[in-house]
């Protein structure tokens, strides 16, 4: 069972299908964030992005597992309380678009930090909920401005981003309040990087896992390049696509491009060994 | 072996406009941020933007960022030195 659904679902099937979790003002949390002090120049802190510092990398490097685990736990405690994300499927996204309002298309802070992407090329992120009305208070967070969208317009934009190969994710701003609908890829999303590179779960896997039906797979390999989580490979032995269920985040991007419809999503909860692997 | 990346901010006046190092890095080791954190009601001046090494475990010491920097602001070092 997903701990967030348990704590914050309030009878809804998933915690992010509970409208109450979209209802808080967006930036209330900022006051309490230690990084707002900006004492030391630090790109992670400046971008508000959870990532791990040099001390963590050095502990990993020298094989100091005790320190690594302690720092990982600290990072989890902070991220899960304030700002972390979870992958969602297209079907779930469509349900969420019926709940959230307003929806503001904005520039992506991760790609700005990773690539210095100019604002006009960088409108891939969405802010949601009443906090968005106050976006002008934070000119740098919202560099390039905000385009408010109707749910139908948002759906169109999200479909375009998805066809480009970006993964839909939801992010909390003061857990359990969800205020970010991001569209992410490896290696330019700080959350995917932190989760995949150093196993610090600032991004949780989704509730589903993709499976390939080898009898239907025609071996075209189109799905392989859609995976942003290093879960999909093409097997030269069987000439079929291969999905690693332990690595799969359940975003369903691979399924989008499968012409013979050989990929389906199964609920993580139906696989006992994976049910708690987030 | 973790590389050490040092950026001299005084030689890097506007990294958001320049961003050559960010684009050239094959593994996105570098990060762009500010030295002031989020600022309410005002835009952050270009000189407050900074570049840092943040994912050094992926630095291959290829020196592309050092070479591409127009102002020689970046130094990459690794224990034992870089082969000539």
Domains and their CATH numbers in chain A? 3-204 (no CATH), 208-270 (3.30.70.20)
DSSP secondary-structure letter at B53?
E
Structure-model confidence comparison of residues B1 and A245, the more confident one: A245
Q: Which of A138, A141, A188 sits opposite B28 (nearest CB)?
A: A188
Spans of chain A below 70 pLDDT: 25-50
The radius of gyration of chain A's CA atoms, rounded to the nearest angstrom, is: 19
**Predicted local confidence at residue A46, as pLDDT:** 40
Q: Encoding tokens for residue A63? A: 């094989």
User: Is A68:A60 a contact under the CB 8 Å cutoff?
Assistant: yes
**Predicted local confidence at residue A42, as pLDDT:** 45
Distance to chain B for A260, nearest Cα, Å: 34
Contacts of A42 in chain B (CB under 8 A): 33, 35, 52
Q: Which of B37, B43, B56 sits opposite A139 (nearest CB)?
A: B43
**Predicted local confidence at residue B37, as pLDDT:** 77
For B:14-33, CB contacts with A below 8 A are: 15-16, 18-19, 22-23, 27-28, 31-33
Distance to chain A for B3, nearest Cα, Å: 10
| Residue owning tokens 């224990």 | B79
**Predicted local confidence at residue A40, as pLDDT:** 44
**Predicted local confidence at residue B19, as pLDDT:** 96
**Predicted local confidence at residue B39, as pLDDT:** 83
Contacts of A58 in chain B (CB under 8 A): 2
Contacts of B1 in chain A (CB under 8 A): 61
Residues forming a β-bridge with A104 = A127, A148
User: Is A166:A21 a contact under the CB 8 Å cutoff?
Assistant: no
Closest residue in A to B46 (Cα–Cα):
A140
Cβ neighbours of residue A216 closer than 8 Å, sequence gap 6 or more: A260, A261, A262
Contacts of A187 in chain B (CB under 8 A): 27-28
CA distances from A24 to A2, A36, A101, A107, A130 (A): 22, 20, 12, 21, 7
Decide if pLDDT at B40 tops 90: no
Banded pLDDT at B83 (limits 50, 70, 90): low
How many other C-beta atoms are found inside a 10 Å radius of the C-beta of residue A149? 18
| Residue owning tokens 């808080």 | A24
Domains and CATH numbers, chain B: 4-37+44-77 (3.30.70.20)
DSSP E strands in A57-173: the ranges are: 85-87, 103-106, 125-128, 147-149, 167-172
Q: Do A193 and B28 touch (CB under 8 A)?
A: yes
Q: Do A46 and B33 touch (CB under 8 A)?
A: yes
Decide if pLDDT at B16 tops 60: yes
The verdict on pTM exceeding 0.90 is yes
């Amino acid at each position: 069972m997903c701990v967030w659904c348990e704590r914050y679902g309030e009878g809804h099937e998933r915690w992010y299908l509970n409208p109450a979790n979209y209802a808080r003002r967006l930036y209330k949390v900022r006051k309490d964030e230690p990084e707002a002090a900006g004492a030391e120049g630090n790109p992670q802190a400046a971008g508000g992005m959870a990532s791990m510092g040099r001390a963590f990398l050095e502990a990993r490097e020298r094989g100091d597992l005790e320190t690594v685990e302690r720092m990982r736990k600290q990072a989890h405690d902070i991220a899960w309380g304030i700002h972390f994300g979870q992958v969602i499927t297209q079907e779930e996204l469509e349900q969420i678009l019926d709940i959230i309002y307003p929806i503001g298309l904005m520039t992506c802070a991760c790609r700005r930090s990773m690539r210095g992407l100019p604002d006009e090329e960088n409108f891939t992120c969405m802010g949601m909920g009443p906090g968005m009305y106050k976006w002008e208070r934070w000119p740098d967070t919202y560099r390039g401005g905000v385009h408010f969208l109707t749910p139908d317009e948002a759906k169109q934009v999200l479909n375009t981003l998805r066809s480009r190969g970006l993964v839909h994710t939801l992010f909390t701003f003061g857990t359990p309040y969800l205020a970010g609908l991001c569209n992410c890829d490896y290696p330019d999303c700080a959350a995917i990087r932190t989760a995949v590179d150093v196993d610090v779960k600032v991004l949780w896997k989704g509730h589903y896992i993709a499976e390939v039906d080898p009898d239907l797979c025609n071996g075209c390999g189109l799905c392989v390049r859609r995976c942003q989580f290093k879960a999909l490979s093409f097997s030269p032995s069987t000439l079929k696509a291969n999905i690693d269920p332990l690595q799969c985040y359940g975003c369903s991007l691979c399924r989008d491009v499968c012409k013979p419809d050989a990929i389906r999503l199964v609920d993580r909860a139906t696989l006992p060994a994976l049910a708690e692997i987030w | 072996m973790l590389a050490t990346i040092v950026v001299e901010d005084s030689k890097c006046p506007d990294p958001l406009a320049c961003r050559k190092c960010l684009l050239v890095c094959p593994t996105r080791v570098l990060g762009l941020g500010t030295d002031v954190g989020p600022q309410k009601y005002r835009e952050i001046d270009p000189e407050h933007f900074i570049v840092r090494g943040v994912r050094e475990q992926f630095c291959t010491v290829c020196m592309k960022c050092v070479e591409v920097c127009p102002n020689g602001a970046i130094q990459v070092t690794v224990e034992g030195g870089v082969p000539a």
